[in-house]
Amino acid sequence: MKFSVLVNEGPFTHQASDSAYHFVKAAIGKGHEVMRVFFYHDGVNNGAKLSSPQQDDRNIVKLWSQLGKEHGLDLVICVAAALRRGIKDDVLAEGFRISGLGQLIEAGMETDRLVVFGD
């Protein structure tokens, strides 16, 4: 099955990012394809390298970057939502890119399922 994923919540205020991360990891592990992970609303904060969690806390931004690199995932940050939160190309974590809502629409049209995490 071919999936696309939408993450609408930030990495440290909601479980949505962690749930999406574990879903994507499990789907890939079972042999499914994940075409794109699109980060929207506060979810764009998942792609900002400026976060610096404590050493004993999970670093979900780093985990997304590593997963993207290992599996060639397309990690897309919504440009409008990012700019509203002061996120530009120079603060993106490795593996993330900024693009428009057309990428979300395309992902929904070209995959079997669009799975949404967060409100």
Q: Amino acid identity of 77? A: I
pLDDT, one tens digit for every residue, the chain (119 residues): 999 999 999 998 899 999 999 999 999 999 999 999 999 999 999 999 998 777 877 899 999 999 999 999 999 999 999 999 999 999 999 999 999 999 999 999 999 999 999 98
Q: Give pLDDT, residue 54.
A: 79
For residues 68 and 28, the answer to whether their CB atoms sit within 8 Å is no
Q: Give pLDDT, residue 53.
A: 79
The answer to whether 78 is a known catalytic residue is: yes
Chain-centre distance of CA 72, in angstroms?
Answer: 13
For residues 30 and 71, the answer to whether their CB atoms sit within 8 Å is no
Query: In the chain, how many domains are there?
Result: 1
Q: Which CATH number is 66's domain given?
A: 3.40.1260.10
Among residues 6, 20, 76, 78, the one annotated as catalytic is: 78
Question: Which structural domain, as residue segments, surrounds residue 95?
Answer: 2-117
Q: Give pLDDT, residue 44.
A: 98
